[in-house]
Structure 1
Amino acid sequence: MTQNPGISPQNPVAGGPCGLSRSRGRVVGGEWNSCGLSRSRGRVVGGLAAGPGRWPWAVSLQLRGRHRCGGTLVTPQWVLSAAHCFQGPGGLRAPLSEWRAVVGRLRLDHEQGQELSVAELIVHPRFRGVRGGHDLVLVRLRPRAALGRDVGTVCLPRAGQRPPFGRSCWISGWGHVAENVSLPAGAPLQEAALPLLSPPTCNCLYSHLRRRDLARPARPGMVCAGGARGGQGACQADSGGAVSCGGAPGGRWVQFGVLSFALGCGRPHGPALATGVGGAHGRWLRRHLPPAAFVPELGPPPDPEMELGVCYGETPPPGCGTSGGPPLPLPPPPRWPWGVSLRGGEGRRCGGALLGGGWVLTAASCFIGAQDPEAWEAELWGAEPESHAPFPGDPAPSNHTHSSPSPATGHTHSTPPPPLTPPI
């Protein structure tokens, strides 16, 4: 792995604006002059086959001729992907000479498109493993990709641009279509629409699984794609692909995440986790990429309430709730018809339980040094403090109880329990 020489006037990056796809973009002088527009609507798990030019920035990163990960063309020279695709615990998984980046190819067994060499990797300096976040790598191509009808660049978010959490965004890839089930030979790039989720909502969904090893997997700087139902999502070999959202000014598509890992493939309450490309990660990207790689203008700010109800739905379960979610009714005050409060002199207080036959069971220690029955009152819980009224329909109890010392030790005990007179 080598260091990035940087972008400078002596090392320019060719290409036009980012984020437009084939349906409305035009090729002018061999350069892509617009970005992010798409002509079709859509297997990734549970997804649909993508049409030609639908995702012109989709890249297949291949090791020794076989698809291993996805990636996104962010300039004609640079691909953004997941660091774990290239780097394992012991360093690089393979020499760079054994990797190829394939662009402009809808079906991987066809020969159209371009096969480009990998000249350089820039791994995010804080990457240590997928669970730790920062799963980003920039891949420099040699030669640069030739932009055209089926090859274009996606836009990255501008500084300060907030992800539209709660909106339906898109993932795409050539990964498995189910757990341990490869994409059939000859099948095209797959796509699926999934809600874009913030880390708190993502962690809330994972909390339904009640698994200690998956507690709060979404760290700051991550985004998620998925929901509670499952059935659609990323799978093996989709890592490195984009989580992209449309609707930016000019019809541009903006990438907000790089797929990193997930619990299985499209499982309920197991959204795919992706490394966000804003915030601190955006600052890292801006150090290595030219301004043309970022969306040229901001749209209206996203609605902060679009995520409400994603985790718990319309009616939160008892004992659960999320900040800003629907209000929960206050539970009724507890009614324990057997509960008794015992009050003695000098501020003594004890609790007790009403037994059959008018007896109260309590702790003997309550009466040590205070064994005069006339000094004690018994009040049923739920009664009005001043009137000592019983529950509706219940006869009124006596308010006296007593305890007697043990002849052998002189210590107070509660056998037999003290009676209430008259019995209830």
Structure 2
Amino acid sequence: MRSVATILIPDNYSTVELGADLALLRLASPAKLGPSVRPVCLPRASHLFAHGTACWATGWGDVQEAVPLPLPWVLQEVELRLLGEAACQCLYSRPGPFNLTFQLLPGMLCAGYPAGRRDTCQGDSGGPLVCEDGGRWFLAGITSFGFGCGRRNRPGVFTAVAPYESWIREHVMGSEPGPVFPSQLQKPQSGPWEPREENCTFAQPELAPGSSAQLEAQLLNGWWCHCLYGRQGETVPRPGDPPHLLCPAYQEEEEAGLCWVSSRNSLQKSRPDQDPAGDSSWSLLCREEGTWFLAGYRTLSDGCLRPRAFSPMQTHGPWIRHVTQGAYLEDQLTWDWGPEGEETEKQTCPTHTEHGACGLRPKSTPAGVLWPWLTEVHVTGDRVCTGILVAPGWVLAATHCILRLGSTTVPYIEVYLGRAGVSSLPQGHQVSRSVVSIRLPRHLGLRPPLALLELNSRVEPSPSALPICLHPGGIPSGASCWVLGWKNPQDRVPVVAAVSILTPRLCHCLYPGILTPGTFCVLYSEGQEDRCEVTSAPPLLCQTEEGPWVLVGMAVRGNRELFAAIGPEATWISQTVGEAHFLHLGGSSYWSPEGSDLCPQDLAGSASSPKVTALLLLLLLAPLIPR
């Protein structure tokens, strides 16, 4: 222990956000050097640390946000990678909590990971970030500040030491001891990064010397996992039965649509739809009461971005025990296949398409209704539209909401999934993507009502982000239909309103002369008319008798009863989006308004009170409505 005689800070320091966040403390008496007390090397101003260098930060701060380090306050360590200025600024330019962004300043250094998870935290400020270079350990940075701890796109910010070489020399030369150029600092003993107690980790085996990957996850509900990836028509295992598949829900996303795959004896980057090697393998590890167990294995990767399902080790227990005669098998692993261990509602899965499952919806929770295909489409100028995920890389939205009449500029658009209003749902994780292109169908003389938004990277399936099914034939028979949106565009908590789809004859009588081809009408149930606001162009969904949900239409500008049908655009959608899920379930095709001359003269055109008019029409034209 030594008392401090003098504190020196740069003249231009004011707040941590403006940089120059470092200080020199002159000790009242020199420290006694020994095996546990040594000075660190200081980098010269010309010293360059390569981007991606693995460095170590140490401190006694919080172990995660608002969680203090418990007694006996053992020094903590974390391995972080240096980020270049451009890469770090790119991450901090993406909207974070409360849409806050940050402008990095000269003299600031970033270290961490785009996916977050590992970081310094409150109470670590002033601690060292040391990097090994040429066999010596240098003080590359000083822990300064961050936005939360371990959050996605928010790496830790450090004060770079190298730019302050002259300032350090000026104040330290002539005092005892002088600046150290260089000495050595013993490397902290490294240990595996461990996730939270209730979580699983799946790790890719080392593909080349010094390379590995590890992601934190939680196991998904058994019905969801099986119906998403299991064989069509196979019965879902009941709670307590041996599982057929294990599906991990990832805590954070991989970065920007690129991932690592193995190729013989080397590593290479690949797009999600390319797997040049096809031989990368992953293992699923779970921890119970401090002990790690191998829970599942995967020998093939059916998507580069991330593994999707694992074969459980539990079902192979008797064979492993017989062959090895010594492997330790845990008999107390329990698998929770439903909410709080309850039976699932359905023991069979909905029909699969050629591209996999679509239109699956988990049960709602008290925190909000989870609609995995509902997206918030944020357009330049604080405009928010509703959109629907129709494929892993595509969102469908109403053209009039995302493109303004008379505008010649293409807006910047971001898409969010897995949100219930301003916050993420607890049972899912938030997904954000930027839009790289807007595709419109080629309608001669008409502005098309629907637009396809191409995302910068795919959205992997999960309970909070999954494409909806499409029905090319119009309205599926026997389906229950709902308008999905939000009542308040500021809060954006998802709500639904029950509707009935009117026949073409009734629709034409309500809107004579203004009903464009490919448009149909709905009638809201009692008290449901004002549940969804219309400026965001909410979609119309139907749940089929077979179980999946299908997208039927998107609201027409400024009207809550008129919807642009999906059916007439089925060819354009399928040609543009190869992975769109079309379910051919039968039912009525899109009709043309026939029999328009049968409209009562005193009711036709009374669109100002569509509900009253529709009810009267239903009574007057009942004999003409097909049963």
Q: By the TM > 0.5 criterion, same fold?
A: no
Q: Which has the higher contact order (CA 8 A, sep 6+)?
A: 1
TM-score after normalising by structure 1: 0.44
Q: Select the structure of larger CA radius of gyration.
A: 1
